[in-house]
Amino acid sequence: MTVIAKETLIGKRVPKLDAPPKVSGEARYLQDIELPGMLFGKILRTDRVHARILNIDVSAAKALPGVHAVITAADTPNVPLGIGRDNPPLKGDKVRCIRDEIAAVAAETEEIAEEALRLIKIEYEDLPAVFDPAESLKEGAPVIHDKHPDNIPFTFEYSHGDISEGEKESDVILEEKVKLHYVTHCCMGVSGIIANFDSEGNLVVYSQTQIPFMYKKDISPVIGVPPEKIHVIQPVIGGAFGSKLDIYPFEPICIFLARVSRRPVKMVFTREEELVASPTRQPVELTIRGGAKKDGTLTFREVHTVHDNGGYTSWGATTPFVIMQTVSSLYRVPHCLYKTTVVYTNNPYSGSFRGYGNLQATYAVETHMDKLAEALGIDPLEFRLRNAQEEGETTPQGMRFHTCGFRDCLTTAAEKSGFREKHPAYKSGQEGPVKRGVGIASLLHVGGGAKIYRTDGCGTMLKVDDFGKVTVMTGSTDIGQGSETVIAQFVAEELGLPIGSISVINNDSEITPWDVGVHASRTTFIAGKSAQLAARKARMKLLKVASEKFDLAPGQLDLRGGQVVRAEDGEALMDLGKLIRSLHFSTKNDIVMTSEYYEPPSMMQDKEFKGDVSATYAFGTQVVELEVDTETGVVRILRVTAAHDVGRVINQMGIEGQVEGGIVMGIGYATTENLVVENGKVMNPSFRDYKLITAPEVPEIDMTFIETMDKEGPAGAKGIGEAPAICISAAIANALYNATGVRFYELPLTPEKVLRRLREAGGNGA
């Protein structure tokens, strides 16, 4: 008899399914796709920041041989897009920021398209511009959108408790202001799209979108094509990190060009265009004020922020949703107030970016916590432990922590980094110009999706074929993070198959079922659970068929190694393919195909922003040890010790990759990256001047995964995609304080800024 032992793939180091074609060069990114008859599209963007358009002359461009279409606002329906519906794809009356699109060309080659753009003549009347949100709020400031004469598209206010009570209870009250800068995604694969209409008016879009289903609905009114006539195909995506969560003007523009030229049109950004004309992380100024009692209990926290919305509204405007969660609920804060004003200016506008406001919030909250600990004379770790959330807690904002590994994260990161010993040792003063420091910071982020729409669900369809091979059709999108592999692991686990027997289809809206999109660290949790449940249904069906065949109850059978086996001793009874073939080649007339729509048990927030918006929450702590040269301002990060509550590890290698990549991205945010915007213009649109972290700068990283085994998550998992990038900048700033005795209120911590701040702070840095 052949005996098959039970094996599991959960928690193993499973290589990504999409890695082989990526290492061989076979993977087809948008950039690599060519359709017969395809034209190349290019956009003319304005060089003004605020101006009325008086005239656009495209006659010379139209006359250029090889040009098939030239369009301006006058040629299109031009319904505004974006989550604020304030952004017409082509600007006809006025431009509001540097990236604004005025005209577009489709031509036989990119060179001809570029030449045609140079032939377009535009007359402007410049308007007074405003770049500082505080100025924009003043009476008489230039109005950016007539619909909002006060320049305020949104405000947010959240509160619980009563700040004045909190003040009365406080022994210490501190206030600080932090200023956080523009950075941008820098996906290595730049933005692009290919659009094609057939003669029946059906549109195929090759898109890098993170939201293939919402995409159809959102773009439909903008381009005047009903959603059922839109087919979205997502080629391999060269990075996204949130940048493709909204629709941006180049997409409908390319679609218009395809319609006018009756040809497929491809549009791919240059790197310069990518840096100037894609969304940024939201720049924020935060004022944080809060207090604590002598015993180290937090009493209240009050945060006011001004968001520079730029010229139009994309997701960046809604980052307050996430900011307020960290403000209200990372620690137990009995009294809390959070207020934001989102303000139009003539600056570039922001989108969603890994962490979604939480990097900014956590920088403020965790540097403020450090200051409070210092003022109270309590060790920063002890102070955090005293106020940390615990399992079973429901925060005043309504988040319920069914599992919570926060304390474990704090103590593990502290112990493994030697924080308790090093912190006082470095603080007591060091000889010489090069000083060492350690800093600690923690985070809270959604870990089980975020119900910002009435559904936060994901659909799966699953087919087991007559050779025991499984095809999983999932609505979720893989942007490189590895969701495809995790989904295959869950399915393989249920059906007792090797990972190689599973293939995942996740990039074609005509085939795959609905999903909200890839954001909010939700894909492992929600798409994973959906796939797991669909596979479980297939498992049930297979066991039932087998039970009739072998006259054993389904519970006495199991699926292992591609075979139906007897559960108690693992004896192989029949090949899975054969079992399925017996359904076709018989009077049973059946196939094995299942579907699932998984909806997490979370809720939308009410009007006061209260409610349990995620099915679970992720926590983490990172300790940074660094060296700073006080004569040059150069900061060298030596070691990061991270502990994350991840529910359960599903793919050890994949999760390490998420944490390493997130930490390095967070270090870039804190120390090197800066999209310099002066008078509304992007001053450094190239990798020469926009500094990403490179390999030699990567510190040692030690990570521990705290497995709290979430009851709702698939196999116990929580989301991890965004968490690793969130608290590192605060840990770096706290470490710098530990080394130098100087607090830093602005990022990035470049040598010039560090040096300037050290000099201006002199001996008195707090």
Partner 1 sequence: MSVLHSIRFTLNGKPVRASVPVHLSAIDMLRDVLHLTGTKLGCGEGECGACTVIVDGVSVNSCLMFAVDCDGREVITIEGLRTDEGLNPLQKAFVQQGAVQCGFCTPGMIMQGTALLNRRSGMTVEEIRRGIEGNLCRCTGYRKIVDTIASALHETSSEEIS
Residues forming the site for partner 1 (CB under 8 A): 13, 15-16, 18-20, 22-29, 31-32, 185-190, 236-241, 270-271, 479-482, 653-654, 656-657, 660-665, 686-688, 692-696, 698, 701
Cβ distance to partner 1 smaller for residue 107 or 187: 187
- Work out how close the CB of 168 gets to ligand FES at its nearest, in angstroms, rounded to a whole number: 52
Cβ distance to partner 1 smaller for residue 4 or 665: 665
Cβ distance to ligand FES smaller for residue 240 or 473: 240
The site partner of 286 among partner 1, ligand FES, none (C-beta below 5 to 8 Å per kind) is none
- For the chain, give me the number of helices (H) and strands (E)? 19, 28
- Work out how close the CB of 278 gets to partner 1 at its nearest, in angstroms, rounded to a whole number: 13
SS3 category, 569:
coil
Name the token pair of 357.
């406001």
Query: How many Å apart are CA 218 and CA 136, to the nearest integer?
Result: 30
Cβ distance to ligand FES smaller for residue 439 or 482: 482
Cβ distance to ligand FES smaller for residue 267 or 665: 665
Tokens 């307050």 — which residue? 320
Cβ distance to partner 1 smaller for residue 1 or 695: 695
The site partner of 660 among partner 1, ligand FES, none (C-beta below 5 to 8 Å per kind) is partner 1
The site partner of 1 among ligand FES, partner 1, none (C-beta below 5 to 8 Å per kind) is none
From residue 235, alpha-carbon distances to 27, 215, 308, 333 in Å are 9, 15, 33, 46
- Work out how close the CB of 238 gets to ligand FES at its nearest, in angstroms, rounded to a whole number: 7
From residue 561, alpha-carbon distances to 9, 493, 572, 582 in Å are 12, 10, 9, 19
Please, are residues 726 and 445 in contact by the beta-carbon 8 Å criterion? Answer: yes
Query: How many Å apart are CA 400 and CA 417, to the nearest integer?
Result: 30
The site partner of 663 among ligand FES, partner 1, none (C-beta below 5 to 8 Å per kind) is partner 1
Contacts of 140 (CB under 8 A, 6+ apart): none
Residue nearest to ligand FES (CB): 188
Residue 188 within binding range of ligand FES, rule CB under 6 A: yes
Query: How many Å apart are CA 171 and CA 299, to the nearest integer?
Result: 9
* Structure letter (DSSP) for residue 266: E
Q: What are the strands of the beta sheet with 154-160, ordered from one edge? A: 154-160, 335-344, 298-310, 284-292, 172-180
Tokens 């006011």 — which residue? 304
Cβ distance to ligand FES smaller for residue 480 or 647: 480
Residue 668 within binding range of ligand FES, rule CB under 6 A: no
Cβ distance to ligand FES smaller for residue 439 or 480: 480
Cβ distance to ligand FES smaller for residue 74 or 188: 188
Name the token pair of 209.
């979108």
- Work out how close the CB of 738 gets to partner 1 at its nearest, in angstroms, rounded to a whole number: 24
Contacts of 529 (CB under 8 A, 6+ apart): 490, 598, 600, 712, 713, 714
SS3 category, 546:
helix
DSSP H or E segment with residue 462: strand 458-464
Cβ distance to partner 1 smaller for residue 269 or 344: 269
Residue 480 within binding range of ligand FES, rule CB under 6 A: yes
Residue of 635, 636, 698 lying closest to 662 (CA atoms):
698
Residue 553 within binding range of ligand FES, rule CB under 6 A: no
- Work out how close the CB of 69 gets to partner 1 at its nearest, in angstroms, rounded to a whole number: 21
Longest CA–CA separation in the chain, Å:
88
Please, are residues 381 and 410 in contact by the beta-carbon 8 Å criterion? Answer: yes
- Work out how close the CB of 500 gets to partner 1 at its nearest, in angstroms, rounded to a whole number: 13
- Work out how close the CB of 175 gets to partner 1 at its nearest, in angstroms, rounded to a whole number: 35
User: Which pairing describes strands 298-310 and 284-292: parallel, antiparallel, or unpaired?
Assistant: antiparallel
Cβ distance to ligand FES smaller for residue 236 or 462: 236
Cβ distance to ligand FES smaller for residue 398 or 480: 480
Three-class SS string for 157-191? EEEECCHHHHHHHCCEEEEEEEEECCCECCCCCCC
- Work out how close the CB of 188 gets to ligand FES at its nearest, in angstroms, rounded to a whole number: 4
Binding residue for ligand FES, selected from 66, 142, 221, 239, defined by CB under 6 A = 239
The site partner of 26 among ligand FES, partner 1, none (C-beta below 5 to 8 Å per kind) is partner 1
Cβ distance to ligand FES smaller for residue 19 or 134: 19
- Other CB atoms within a 10 A radius of the CB of residue 314 amount to 25
- Other CB atoms within a 10 A radius of the CB of residue 524 amount to 33
DSSP H or E segment with residue 59: helix 59-63
Residue of 551, 533, 544 lying closest to 597 (CA atoms):
533
- Work out how close the CB of 660 gets to ligand FES at its nearest, in angstroms, rounded to a whole number: 11
- Work out how close the CB of 722 gets to ligand FES at its nearest, in angstroms, rounded to a whole number: 16
The site partner of 698 among ligand FES, partner 1, none (C-beta below 5 to 8 Å per kind) is partner 1
The site partner of 647 among partner 1, ligand FES, none (C-beta below 5 to 8 Å per kind) is none
Residue 82 within binding range of ligand FES, rule CB under 6 A: no
- Work out how close the CB of 635 gets to partner 1 at its nearest, in angstroms, rounded to a whole number: 18
Query: How many Å apart are CA 347 and CA 340, to the nearest integer?
Result: 18
- Work out how close the CB of 481 gets to ligand FES at its nearest, in angstroms, rounded to a whole number: 10
- Work out how close the CB of 204 gets to ligand FES at its nearest, in angstroms, rounded to a whole number: 26
- Work out how close the CB of 685 gets to partner 1 at its nearest, in angstroms, rounded to a whole number: 11
Size of the residue set binding ligand FES (CB under 6 A): 3
The site partner of 23 among ligand FES, partner 1, none (C-beta below 5 to 8 Å per kind) is partner 1
Cβ distance to ligand FES smaller for residue 240 or 450: 240
The site partner of 316 among partner 1, ligand FES, none (C-beta below 5 to 8 Å per kind) is none
The site partner of 653 among ligand FES, partner 1, none (C-beta below 5 to 8 Å per kind) is partner 1
From residue 79, alpha-carbon distances to 52, 224, 311, 486 in Å are 19, 9, 17, 39
The site partner of 664 among partner 1, ligand FES, none (C-beta below 5 to 8 Å per kind) is partner 1
Q: Beta-strand (E) ranges in 253-392? A: 265-268, 284-292, 298-310, 335-344
Query: How many Å apart are CA 509 and CA 718, to the nearest integer?
Result: 27
Please, are residues 478 and 503 in contact by the beta-carbon 8 Å criterion? Answer: no
Cβ distance to partner 1 smaller for residue 130 or 443: 443
- Work out how close the CB of 108 gets to partner 1 at its nearest, in angstroms, rounded to a whole number: 12
Chain positions contacting ligand FES, by CB under 6 A: 188, 239, 480
